[in-house]
Amino acid sequence: MFRSVARSAAGKHLIRRGYATEPVPARKVAVLGAAAGIGQPLALLMKLNPLVSQLALYDIANTPGVAADVSHVNSRAEVAGYVGEEQLEKALDGCDLVIIPAGCQESLALVNMISNPVNSTVPIAAEVFKKAGTYDEKKLFGVTTLDVVRAKTFYAEKAKIKVADVNVPVVGGHAGITILPLFSQATPKANLAEGDIKVLTKRTQDGGTEVVEAKAGKGSATLYAGAIFADACLKGLNGVPDVVECSFVQSTVTELPFFASKVRLRKNGVEEVLGLSSLSEYEKNGLESLKPELKASIDKGINFANQS
């Protein structure tokens, strides 16, 4: 998933791409909720990412132990642990990317919101940032990468093709029927029957429930997807061209104020929110069906944030 990093004679960090090496900018990443079930392995994945030079781990308790453990990994990032409200500002200071697997805090950096329900927590965060005068629609992301990961996996299994070669955009939201995989736009093209598409769509929508039930209610495996999207954000910040991922963002793709679709990532976050392209009749119906539920979740988040 990540490329290795070496240190030149001059002490500059370089990223290996085949035989070539390129300088890597210093990037500070914070994980808020780093001592929790998703936060700990996510912190480890960020420590292993060669694009991260500083890793700030924050939680309301137990963070120093997590930071001490993660800091022993022999990779580039320098690790610091922060605990309690009084240390939050220091944890966020100078961050390029903030990943939130739990809770919601202010930041001027790119913010990756993993906390469920994403359909509501992203609008909540937007309202909080507006009140603080720090809202930037280009820098707030709802992480829906797990839906894409599942859609790719299920599609590859059914089509009997290598999953590494597969791409499937997933639009809408990040819960139940609001998740709409666009299998008509999947590559490589497999020409699956409509019945198969319906089954794959339903399984993608129910993927979280499938995992939670298998784990007896102990939560879903969002950490891998969180790390993948964080890596994409860091590449965008570093100016890597044509970094495109699906994410739940402020949008005009539909009449809804927030919507998940493909976005192009660059140095300021969202460079472009991409449209839906052509949809099959099945997908058009799915899009119309998901809108009322997604709108209700968005409205619920906005109303919650603006309670007196």
pLDDT at residue 21, as a whole number = 45
Whether 120 and 193 share a structural domain: no
Residue 20 lies in a domain: no
Number of domains in the chain: 2
Whether 201 and 138 share a structural domain: no
Boundary-marking domain end, from 143, 168, 194:
143
| 114 is an annotated ligand-binding site residue | yes
Of 176, 170, 185, nearest to 262 (Cα)?
A: 170
Question: How many Cβ atoms from other residues are within 10 Å of residue 61's Cβ?
Answer: 9
Whether the per-residue pLDDT at 155 is higher than 60: the answer is yes
Whether 34 and 167 share a structural domain: no
Whether 188 and 303 share a structural domain: yes
Boundary-marking domain end, from 126, 143, 160:
143
| 167 is an annotated ligand-binding site residue | no
Whether the per-residue pLDDT at 156 is higher than 60: the answer is yes
What CA–CA distance (Å, rounded) separates 249 from 276?
14
Whether 116 and 153 share a structural domain: no
Whether 77 and 180 share a structural domain: no
Whether the per-residue pLDDT at 249 is higher than 90: the answer is yes
Residue 49 lies in a domain: yes
Q: What is the pLDDT of residues 170-222, one digit of tens each?
A: 999 999 999 999 999 999 999 899 999 999 999 999 987 777 777 766 655 56
As given in the structure block, the two tokens for residue 308 are 């007196």
Whether 134 and 148 share a structural domain: no
| 39 is an annotated ligand-binding site residue | yes
| 59 is an annotated ligand-binding site residue | yes
| 65 is an annotated ligand-binding site residue | no
What do you get for the CA distance between the two ends of the chain, in Å? Answer: 45
Of 126, 100, 167, nearest to 305 (Cα)?
A: 126
What percentage of the chain carries pLDDT values higher than 90?
A: 75
Q: What is the pLDDT of residues 19-43, one digit of tens each?
A: 334 578 999 999 999 988 788 889 9
pLDDT at residue 9, as a whole number = 40
Q: What is the pLDDT of residues 74-130, one digit of tens each?
A: 999 999 999 998 999 999 999 999 998 864 444 488 999 988 899 999 999 999 999
Boundary-marking domain end, from 81, 113, 143:
143
User: Which CATH number goes with the domain that contains 71?
Assistant: 3.40.50.720
Residue 15 lies in a domain: no
pLDDT at residue 13, as a whole number = 53
pLDDT at residue 225, as a whole number = 87
Catalytic sites, residue numbers: 174
Reported confidence tier of residue 56, pLDDT bands at 50, 70, 90: very high
Arithmetic mean of pLDDT, 134-147? 95
- pTM assigned to the model: 0.84
Distances (CA, A) of 202 to 50, 134, 175, 205, 235: 36, 38, 12, 5, 32
Whether the per-residue pLDDT at 152 is higher than 60: the answer is yes
Give me the domain span that covers residue 48. 28-143
What percentage of the chain carries pLDDT values higher than 70?
A: 88
Mean of pLDDT over the chain:
88
Residue 124 lies in a domain: yes
| 33 is an annotated ligand-binding site residue | yes
Whether 49 and 131 share a structural domain: yes
